[in-house]
Amino acid sequence: MTDWRVFEGTNKPHDGVNHMPDPPPWRPMRAQAPMADRIIPMDDQLSPKTRHIGLTYQSAPEIIDMVNAALLLRRPLLVTGKPGSGKSSLIDAVAFELRLGEPLRWPIGSNSNLQDALYRYDAIGRLQDAQRGGAAEKPISGYLRLGPLGTALVPTRRPRALLIDEIDKSDIDLPNDLLNVLEEGVFEIPELNRLPEDDHQLRLHGQAGGLAVVHKGQVAVHQFPFVVMTSNGERDFPQAFLRRCLRLDMPDPCADPERLAAVVGAHLKAYLEARPLYAGKVDASIQAFAERAQRGEALATDQLLNLIFMLAGPVGDRDHDAVSQAVTRRLD
């Protein structure tokens, strides 16, 4: 590590997160020791999506600085920006480089609520088992499962990465409800509080699954998770919510030919190296795309990637204009 930045935007995994300085005194660890450490998958064992984004994501300097500020201050990062600017992909880039494991994801809809994000209790399943005479053999913890936010707060030595995607779509109360949990880093499970046993094993959220020990019905974070909340700028948030977040407005790469070329190179390097005759056509397409964005057209980088993949592959010269118009229509 050469400076204060833990996340360097190099697309190269490292263990710098283990050497972060202590949190600010107003953001102390809620659990003094992790209940049990979790197994982090090897770099090549992550999902294809996370691995691809981690190897190709292009982090501008302002992105790198804001990510590091959020990491060191243990604050959520509220990310706004145009469609296709990399808001949702940022979590994969950070999780890949800092070896935080597969990111947890909570896609927000109009019916999303904090309770389900923390944990779910399958009361119907328990009732059905009781009617069949099986509930007495299965503890209540067998009907409980932690949600994405609840899993992110389980006390482990290395922080989790959590994406709360499109928080604009939530109902009016969710941002403040969510803020309280992220601020305190603690929540309770009443179904376990009233039981005589101190420790219960609950299933974790995510494909990898696994179990976590919950002590006396309370989950208290050891390392605050790295949280990215994305917003399309479709609504205003309460000042109390904004005050406790760090805000990043994603730079739009579409109007910058150099950044576009870097994005294309990161995603399609091997593909284009096998087709050197198309280099001139690729450069011209990048320049034309950037000029359209500079004129104010709403475009996204994945449209350019689609275009170049087509033009350098199956599409002939005579269909160039038709294909370009079809796959790069303006978004506004």
Give yes or no for a contact between 211 and 163, defined as CB atoms under 8 angstroms apart. Answer: no
Token code pair at residue 240: 């109390």
Spatial separation of the C-alpha atoms in residues 215 and 213, rounded to whole Å: 6
Spatial separation of the C-alpha atoms in residues 94 and 97, rounded to whole Å: 5
The region, left, alpha or beta by phi > 0 then psi within -120 to 50, assigned to residue 102 is beta
* The pLDDT of residue 317: 65
- In one-letter notation, the amino acid at residue 254 is C
Write phi, then psi, for 190 (nearest 5 degrees).
-60, -35
State the pairing for strand pair 104-107/186-188: unpaired
Mean pLDDT of successive 10-residue segments in the chain (332 residues)?
Answer: 84 94 89 76 93 95 96 96 90 97 94 94 83 71 93 93 95 88 93 89 83 91 95 88 94 90 92 85 91 92 92 72 87 84
pLDDT tens for 141-182 read: 889 999 999 999 999 989 999 999 999 999 888 998 898 899
Give yes or no for a contact between 147 and 116, defined as CB atoms under 8 angstroms apart. Answer: yes
Torsion of Cα atoms, 170 then 172 then 174 then 179, to 10°: 120
* The pLDDT of residue 1: 45
* The pLDDT of residue 117: 96
Spatial separation of the C-alpha atoms in residues 7 and 315, rounded to whole Å: 39
Spatial separation of the C-alpha atoms in residues 164 and 167, rounded to whole Å: 7
* The pLDDT of residue 231: 94
Neighbour tally for 86: CB within 10 Å: 25
Q: Residue 21 belongs to what H/E stretch?
A: none
Domain 16-249 classified CATH 3.40.50.2300? no
- Indicate the pTM of the whole model: 0.91
Spatial separation of the C-alpha atoms in residues 206 and 199, rounded to whole Å: 22
Q: The tokens 């609504």 sit on which residue?
A: 235
* The pLDDT of residue 187: 95
How far does the chain reach from its first CA to its final CA, in angstroms? Answer: 43
